[in-house]
Each structure stands twice: as C-alpha cells, then as structure tokens.
Amino acid sequence: MDGHPQKATFAYNVAHQVASGMADRYMHMPMQAHSNTDFSKELNRVVNLPIFLANNIIIPLGTILSEAVVTIMLLIGVAVYNTEVFLFMLIPFAPLALLLWRQRRHARVVSQQSRDAYPALTKFALQIIEGIGDIRVFGKESFFKKRFSSVHHQLGRVFAKSHSIQVGTSRFTELIATTCVCCLIWFSLYFTNASDTLVLLGLYAGASFRIIPSINRILAAVTQIQSNRYVVDELSASTDFDKLTTRCLNPSYFTSSSLCGRRRSATMTATFCAEHRSQFVKANA
C-alpha cells in the first residue's frame, strides 16, 4: 500500500501546497521582520519541511490506516472462527503497547535533535558554499569544515537512533509471536488432543504470518511520526499552515489531485502568475 500512486500523489500535492504557502508567506513578510529572521530556519521551512511532511507524516498515516484495516479484518475473522485463538493472539499487544509507550520519550528526543540540527546544517553549508572566497582569503577552511562536520555527524547519530528504535520494535514483535507459537506447540504436546491443537496452531501461525508484518508497519509508522513531530510544529509556526492542510485534506481535493494533478498544478501556476502580475501593476501604477 505504501507505493499506491494515489496516496503518494496526495502526499506530495500537499507538500507542494505547503511549500508554496511557506514561500508566499516569506515573500510577503514585512521588511522590518527580515532583520530578525533566521534565514536557515526559513530556508528549511520552504525547502525541506514540506517534503518531510509528505514522507514522514502523511504517508505513514496512510500506512497506519491501511494496515489497521487489514489487521482488524483478520482479527474479526479469527474471533468468529475460534475465540480462544483470538484471545491468544491478543497476548502480544500488551507488551507492544508498553514498549511503544516507553519509546515515546526517545522519539521526542530524536524529534527535538532533528529540529535543531537541520537548520544549523543548512546554515553552515550555505556559509561554506557562498563564502568560499572569504574563507580562503582568511584561511578559515578547517574552522568551517569542522563546524559543518560536527553538526552532520550529530544528525547522523540522530538518524541511527531513530533507525534502531524502529528495528528494535519489529524484532520484539517477532520474538513475542515466536514465543506464542512455541507455547502452543508445548501445550499441544502435553495437555490436549494433538490433532485439534495442530489445527488451531495452523490457524494462529497463518493469521500471525499476515498480522505481524502489518503490526510492524504500524509501529514503524507511529515511531516515524513521533520522531518527526517537529515538522508539524515548525510548519504550524506559519499562520497559513492550518488553512493549507485543511484545504488539502478535503476529500474533494484528494479526488481531484489524484486524477487531475497536472491540470490542478497548471491552474495554480496560472492563478499565481495572475495574482502577482496584478500586484506588480498596482505597485507600479
């Protein structure tokens, strides 16, 4: 489902709308406000955060929705067929909920570190690229390189921590499911009729074979969203963000964007040019 074209088209259309809104907001800021503006943060809002919003917030939300539907349907089917197997399948959810609760703190730390590192990395990279002439004249190559490398290394550690959280959660899920299967086998050998229990074991293993990947995708998506909460926080600093997301999350917008993306993009471009052409004429009248 992650590669579904409608979901991806919708997510990146929202990113396009948000990026356009951020750029328009910056261009219409009062001139006196520019003196107090952190340009690296503004650049991050315009260039990086809209794409991060699509990749790390909207698409994972779609993953949670689609995989939750599959998981619920399978659990309902198992519950109708055999209540005991259904109750046994609920055992892994308790430790998973505890693990997810404990990882929220680590995800918040990752989110805050990413929020601080991206603008700083952009700022130092721009200083090196745009000021290379002055840097060479004053012999400050090592200073700027060291500062850039330090922040880049810090961001790499943040990504490594986020990856370890996601991978650790999926491994824990598989370990719990394997333990449950072993318990069923042991129970069938010593306490009940083996033939009946083997049928239940096959049902449990078959359902788990499909449910566990869905649970892993849901947990990975939840962790990804929690680790990137700063994206929404940063974009929410703009007064236009709520209006943009409300319009983009409208079902009619989703239908038109998935079916008529090029036509909408062309219409937006024409409207944008018309609005700014009229503003230019009024300003120079």
Of 10-14, 79-83, 157-161, 245-249, the one with minimum mean pLDDT is 245-249
CA torsion sign for 61, 65, 66, 72 is positive
Of 238 and 262, more confident = 238
Is 28 among the domain residues? yes
Within-domain flag for 27? yes
Which one is predicted more confidently, 106 or 185? 106
What residues make up the domain containing 107? 5-249
Which pLDDT belongs to residue 227?
87
Q: Distance between CA atoms of 49 and 226, rounded to whole angstroms?
A: 15
How many beta carbons lie within 10 A of that of residue 155, not counting itself?
Answer: 17
Q: Please determine, for residue 91, whether its predicted confidence score (pLDDT) is greater than 80.
A: no
Mean pLDDT of the chain: 76
The verdict on residue 268 lying in a domain is no
At 143 the pLDDT is 92
- Domain contains 153: yes
Q: Is residue 31 part of a domain?
A: yes
- Of 220, 228, 241, 232, give the one whose Cα is nearest residue 56: 228
Predicted TM-score (pTM) of the model is: 0.72
Q: What are 10-64's pLDDT values in tens digits? A: 889 998 988 888 888 888 878 777 777 778 888 888 888 999 999 999 999 999 9
Q: Are 96 and 215 in contact (CB under 8 A)?
A: yes
Instruction: Determine the average pLDDT of the residues in 125-130.
Output: 89
Task: Specify the range with the lowest mean pLDDT, choosing from 3-17, 238-252, 263-277.
Answer: 263-277
Domain count, the chain: 1
- Average of pLDDT values for 129-152? 90
Question: What is the rounded average pLDDT of the residues 167-180?
Answer: 74
The answer to whether position 274 is within a domain reads no
- Asked if pLDDT for residue 284 goes beyond 50, the answer is no
Share of the chain above pLDDT 90, in %: 12
Any idea what the CATH number is for the domain that residue 90 is in?
1.20.1560.10
Answer whether residue 68 is part of any domain: yes
